[in-house]
Amino acid sequence: GYPGTYGVPSNQTSAFFREGRFLVDTPLAWSYLHTHGHYVDEMALYVNASARSLGLEEAGLSPALRGYTGTCWSTPTGACRTALRGLAKQQASAGARRVCHFKRTSALSERVPGTEEIDGVFYRKSTGCIPFEIARGLPFVAVVFASPDSRAASSTPAGGIAPLHTFFRLFAAVPGVLAPTCNRGGCYLWH
């Protein structure tokens, strides 16, 4: 599959986070998010935050991107949903700011029969992030909550593992910097 592809169980809720720090000082110029709406229920990028300050480790989530090892597995009323509900409260108390957000809704999808999309449901790409100032050393946390959107999605992948890749693509004009943050399509600071 594509670089950065990971697996999630296609028939249950799961979640994980990744955290890091930005490398440069620059305003955000443009952004977009990419995900697979059939399996990703919600994803968000927080700045001025750590996984600990957002309560993600306490909720049972782990920094996994290696398939489903070590992530939080549960029913919709279990630890993953508890972590999701607690993010708004934790965000405020930690001084964090949610700058990018995707939430799977029917408003982002339409049925297109005869396509290769699961159950004929096509999800539009999400809008980008709100404007914010990127600063060298500014901590960030990306959180992904996965769950199937339908019976067809939960039974589609062989072996019950859905291959996904999710991206928060952040672009900025960084004069004099060519690598490792830039490619022919522009500069990206993390994905």
Pairing of strands 139-146, 40-47: antiparallel
Query: Could you give the CA distance from residue 13 to residue 155 in angstroms, rounded to a whole number?
Result: 14
What's the rounded mean pLDDT across residues 11-37?
84
What does the radius of gyration of the chain's CA atoms come to, in whole angstroms?
17
**pLDDT at residue 175 tops 80:** no
pTM (2 d.p.): 0.77
Top-confidence residue, 162 or 66: 162
User: What is the model's pLDDT at position 21?
Assistant: 92
Question: How crowded is the C-beta side of 24, counted as CA atoms within 13 Å?
Answer: 20
